[in-house]
């Protein structure tokens, strides 16, 4: 099929669907009959519907809390989720294991068997495809809040089919955000098609009266990502999703560390996503936001990690993001125990509860930063539309080929990797080397000046060493990687 940003016809969708469902035995479940699946999804009560609970939180101006969590033995996974619900999670995840993310279901199967034999978890998440619709339904039956798959899967078509048919009403990911930070050799053209499929499936459900939430993965590589780049990517994925019929979208942002910039980023993201969807004629959309607690390197010390989690929660609450993804005091160690995960939730919930009636005050600095992000996002998106001759899908492929959109520290060979970020003298994430980013001269001059200010203060030249120092700074207890004086 030729790549374009156009809603797939049902015929196109069903043709591909036959292949997707035939790719692993659990794809043949009769629960994947769409009439059956719609009936099942309609029986999911409102309080377990992700899209409805997000819309309600937005109306009330609340920031709800969601952890990451997933283990491979299904009974233990259910125990884990119940424990996190008890700890206060407003939404539950199922973090999917790495084999499933790479469509290596036979290896996931071996992992499940090994885990049973050795009585310990051998996979790093929940292998939803192997458990199939029936297994995923059992998980949902045992919890009382909405359930979402969180993963990092470039081709999540079968996974999306299985989880939605099981009544899980949200799926994370997108053509760029689940490719560029996660894969090396998969083209953007391929992942646009894979995610058009996932979105078209949701569009089919929406056309039949079922609300399902979709969430582009905002933080990308989670390391010094400039707000305008992640916001532009989120808006592109929201537009691509809306074209396929998605109505409920949660756009995301990973904490950068400067409070003004973080609040500005969430505000700009909400506003510009709504603006662009409206501009291209997508009506009746429900747009919400998600703030990710610090996604970069964490301090090893658990108490320090809890401090960082609390700061993240403060900023999320003040920004009025609709949802926040929590971290745990074990972040620097690996996959958390359920107790550690629960501690992250409890600390986070307390902070958002204390701040629920407050928000970050308007100020000149906030206003300027919002305007700066908006200007940069507009510049990037203008380039993308021009490159695609008006077609967003084509423009996106070209923008990555040419480095017009460039994600820092990404493993993908389809990403230019020429742009370099660094913090300015107040810790705002700025751009030190533009590569081929789609920025005009005015924007470039602004960044250059900000980097010069820092260089002067630190008595060194603007250089890659600043980027390196910044990458490690937070895990060492500082936001800005100041030069080490010997």
- The one catalytic residue in 68, 101, 150, 200 is 101
Asked if residue 395 binds ligand 5AD (CB under 6 A), the reply is: no
* Coil, strand or helix at 250: strand
3-11, 174-182, 330-338, 449-457 -> range binding ligand 5AD (CB under 6 A): 330-338
Token pair for 260: 């003004």
DSSP structure string for 110-149: HHHHHHHHHTS--SSS--HHHHHHHHHHHHHHT-SS-EEE
Token pair for 89: 């999670």
To ligand 5AD, the closest distance from the beta carbon of 349 in angstroms equals 17
Q: How far apart are CA 217 and CA 151, in angstroms?
A: 9
- The one catalytic residue in 17, 73, 85, 172 is 172
To ligand 5AD, the closest distance from the beta carbon of 249 in angstroms equals 21
Q: Which is nearer to ligand 5AD, 34 or 340 (CB)?
A: 340
Asked if residue 479 binds ligand 5AD (CB under 6 A), the reply is: no
Distances (CA, A) of 112 to 29, 131, 271: 20, 10, 44
Would you give the binding string for ligand 5AD spanning residues 282-321, x where CB under 6 A is met? ----------------------------------------
Q: Which is nearer to ligand 5AD, 148 or 272 (CB)?
A: 148
- One-letter-per-residue 3-state SS of 273-335: HHHHHHHCCCCCCEEEEEEECCCCCCCCCHHHHHHHHHHHHHHHHHHCCCEEECCCCCCCCCC
To ligand 5AD, the closest distance from the beta carbon of 163 in angstroms equals 16
Q: Which is nearer to ligand 5AD, 125 or 342 (CB)?
A: 125
Torsion of CA 138, 142, 145, 148, to 10 degrees: -30
Which of 336, 342, 421, 427 binds ligand 5AD (CB under 6 A)? It is: 336
126 touches 143 (CB < 8 A) = no
Q: Which is nearer to ligand 5AD, 252 or 336 (CB)?
A: 336
H/E stretch holding 251 reads strand 248-254
> Which residues are 248's β-sheet partners?
213, 286
Residue found by looking up tokens 């409102």 in the block: 46
Which of 161, 237, 331, 369 binds ligand 5AD (CB under 6 A)? It is: 331
Would you give the binding string for ligand 5AD spanning residues 178-217, x where CB under 6 A is met? ----------------------------------------
To ligand 5AD, the closest distance from the beta carbon of 177 in angstroms equals 12
Which of 95, 177, 322, 415 binds ligand 5AD (CB under 6 A)? It is: 95
Which of 327, 423, 430, 447 binds ligand 5AD (CB under 6 A)? It is: 327
Asked if residue 101 binds ligand 5AD (CB under 6 A), the reply is: no
Would you give the binding string for ligand 5AD spanning residues 57-86, x where CB under 6 A is met? -----------xxx----------------
Is 101 tagged catalytic?
Answer: yes
Torsion of CA 83, 87, 92, 93, to 10 degrees: -70
Would you give the binding string for ligand 5AD spanning residues 114-153, x where CB under 6 A is met? ----------xx----------------------------
Q: Which is nearer to ligand 5AD, 55 or 176 (CB)?
A: 176
* Coil, strand or helix at 92: strand
Asked if residue 103 binds ligand 5AD (CB under 6 A), the reply is: no
Q: How far apart are CA 194 and CA 196, in angstroms?
A: 6
Q: Which is nearer to ligand 5AD, 324 or 387 (CB)?
A: 324
Q: How far apart are CA 75 and CA 138, in angstroms?
A: 9
CA torsion sign, 182 to 188 to 194 to 198? Answer: positive
Q: Which is nearer to ligand 5AD, 95 or 289 (CB)?
A: 95
Q: How many residues bind ligand 5AD (CB under 6 A)?
A: 10
Distances (CA, A) of 200 to 10, 19, 193, 197: 9, 15, 10, 5
Q: Work out the angle at residue 469's Cα, subtended by the Cα atoms of residues 463 and 470, and round it to the nearest 5 degrees.
A: 100
Is 172 tagged catalytic?
Answer: yes
Q: Which residues bind ligand 5AD (CB under 6 A)?
A: 68-70, 95, 124-125, 327, 331, 335-336
Active-site residue numbers? 101, 172
């Amino acid at each position: 099929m030729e790549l374009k940003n156009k809603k797939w016809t049902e015929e196109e969708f069903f043709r591909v669907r036959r292949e997707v469902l035939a790719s692993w035995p659990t794809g043949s479940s009769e629960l994947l009959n769409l009439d059956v699946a719609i009936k099942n999804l309609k029986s999911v009560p409102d309080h377990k519907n992700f899209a409805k609970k997000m819309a309600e939180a937005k109306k009330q101006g609340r920031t709800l809390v969601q952890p990451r969590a997933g283990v491979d033995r299904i009974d233990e996974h259910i125990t884990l989720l119940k424990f996190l619900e008890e700890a206060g999670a407003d939404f539950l995840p199922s973090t999917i294991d790495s084999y499933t993310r790479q469509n290596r279901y036979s290896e996931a199967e071996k992992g499940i068997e090994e885990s049973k034999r050795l009585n310990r978890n051998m996979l790093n998440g929940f292998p939803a495809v192997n458990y199939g619709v029936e297994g995923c339904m059992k998980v949902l039956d045992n919890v009382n809040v909405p359930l979402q798959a969180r993963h990092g899967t470039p081709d999540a078509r079968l996974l999306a089919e299985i989880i939605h048919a099981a009544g899980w009403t949200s799926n994370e990911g997108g053509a760029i955000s689940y490719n560029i930070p996660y894969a090396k050799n998969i083209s953007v053209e391929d992942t646009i098609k894979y995610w058009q499929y996932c979105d078209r499936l949701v569009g089919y459900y929406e056309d039949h009266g079922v609300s399902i939430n979709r969430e582009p993965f905002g933080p990308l590589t989670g390391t010094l990502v400039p707000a305008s780049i992640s916001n532009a990517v989120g808006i592109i994925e929201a537009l691509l999703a809306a074209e396929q019929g998605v109505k409920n979208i949660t756009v995301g942002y990973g904490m950068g560390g400067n409070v003004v910039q973080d609040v500005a980023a969430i505000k700009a993201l909400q506003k510009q996503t709504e603006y662009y969807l409206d501009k291209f004629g997508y009506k009746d959309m429900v747009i919400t936001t998600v703030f990710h607690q610090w996604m970069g390197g964490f301090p090893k010390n658990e108490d320090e990690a809890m401090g960082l989690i609390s700061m993240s929660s403060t900023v999320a609450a003040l920004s009025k993001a609709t949802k926040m993804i929590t971290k745990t005091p074990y972040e620097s160690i690996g996959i958390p125990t359920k107790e550690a995960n629960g501690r992250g939730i409890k600390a986070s919930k307390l902070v958002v509860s204390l701040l629920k009636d407050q928000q970050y005050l308007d100020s000149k600095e906030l206003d300027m930063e919002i305007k700066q992000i908006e200007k940069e996002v507009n510049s990037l998106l203008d380039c993308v539309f021009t490159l695609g001759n008006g077609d967003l899908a084509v423009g996106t492929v070209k923008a990555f080929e040419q480095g017009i959109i460039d994600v820092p520290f990404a493993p993908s060979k389809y990403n230019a990797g020429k742009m370099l970020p660094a913090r300015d003298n107040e810790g705002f994430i700025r751009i030190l080397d533009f590569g081929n980013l789609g920025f005009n001269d005015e924007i470039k001059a602004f960044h250059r000046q900000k980097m010069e200010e820092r260089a002067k203060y630190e008595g060194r030249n603007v250089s890659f060493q600043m980027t390196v120092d910044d990458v490690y700074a937070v895990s060492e207890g500082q936001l800005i990687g100041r030069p080490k004086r010997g």
